[in-house]
Amino acid sequence: MRRRLPLLLHLYRYAMAALEPVAAGVLLMRRRKGKEDPRRMSERRGVPGEDRPEGHLAWLHGASIGETMSILPLIERLARRGVTVLVTSGTVTSAEIIAQRLPPGAIHQFVPVDVPRFMSRFLDYWRPDIALFAESEIWPNAILALEKRDVPLILINGRLSERSYRRWSKVPGVVEALLSRFSLCLAQSAGDAERLQRLGAPRVGVAGNLKFDSPPPPADPRLVAALQGMVAGRPVWVAASTHPGEEEMVVAIHRALARRYANLLTIVAPRHPRRGEVIAEIAQDSALRTARRSLGEQPSREIDFYVADTVGELGLFYRLAPLVFVGGSLVPRGGQNPIEPAKLGAAILHGPHVQNFSEVYAALDRAGGALPVADAKTLAAVLEDLISDTALTREMARAGHDAVSELGGALDRTLRAVEPFVLGAKMDRR
């Protein structure tokens, strides 16, 4: 027997159905801005871009780069067990990166917009036996369409910030109706689990954060060696995953540090690589000799400021620099993931706005693998000290690496919790 829906959910479904032409227009606007792949636009309307293999199929969904990378080890484990995995995401960047790292037999598609007809078309073609959504993906039409087809739905690596909790709390009937349709919610932390339970999720467990079990981003050893040769003997630091407002700070920090370290190299890897041209102009306006990775330019001896505006190369730059500032944290964006640079042996610096990864940063700070800074002036002072104290930098890097290693295990816990549903779906198919 289907559970009744609150009025707001009915209104949402009718509104999204009525706004289907508007959704198509929004997709076209996003394509013009470079936010959609023009060759694969139909996938966003639920039209398949690949053939469906025969047999059991698991649908795993992550919204963007961070979510898809965190579930990659789970995808690999399921594929090794003979399960065909369909992976969906919603961004061009995530599609480009995941295409390089998917195991044989796994398929990537862009997730359909949450319009009833788009979602029905998608599910009628792919016919998943089980669906696993990562972190905080709660899309009403997708959830209801899966329930209609009796497909078990599990939230993995579940995360619900205090801000999201307060927002969902304003519509308690809606969120309870949606969360009650999940067969299981596996939270990253006890805090996330408690918030999910308070909102009405009936079956909640704590598995930990899958990001701790994700392998560090790869890099071609030949490229690493070539760039290491170029920057040898220079103090180097990376400002990673920066957001608008932070690049101006990074430029000012470079100018301040260059008074003491004349051969300093600053590498900026923006959260959105398409902003590379704008960032280069900011640096050039401050008379910094600037080069851009996307143009094929190199961080030669004559370059002060290197804009790493390409996709999938963070692993390369983390291997070059002993010091990494993780962005989205000096401006109120909630911070970006510090686990990857910590795994690759970098000392981590971050601003105060890290609520998206609060427990990760707290663990790194406690272990001495990361240092919080209040503002750009403090960041400059800390960088100046660490550049001159290589022993302390190495000690921080070791502490950070050990801290993230000790926090692993979420992958095994998630697999143990998910396996009964996978086996059950296989038995139902037979």
In degrees, to the nearest 5, what angle opens at C-alpha 84 toward C-alphas 72 and 60? 45
Alpha carbon distance 250, 288 (integer Å): 12
67 is catalytic: yes
List, in sequence order, the alpha helices (H) in 35-71. Answer: 65-70
What are φ and ψ of residue 6, in 5° steps?
A: -65, 160
Alpha carbon distance 401, 186 (integer Å): 25
Q: What is the DSSP string of 70-115?
A: HTHHHHHHHHHTT-EEEEEES-HHHHHHHHHHPPTT-EEEEPPPS-
Alpha carbon distance 400, 96 (integer Å): 29
Alpha carbon distance 318, 315 (integer Å): 5
Locus of tokens 């965190």 = 70
Question: Are 213 and 410 a contacting pair, CB within 8 Å?
Answer: yes
Length of the chain in residues, anyone?
430
Q: Of 36, 43, 67, 246, which one is the catalytic site residue? A: 67
How large is the angle between the packed helices 72-80 and 410-429, nearest 10 degrees? 50
Which of the residues are catalytic? Answer: 67
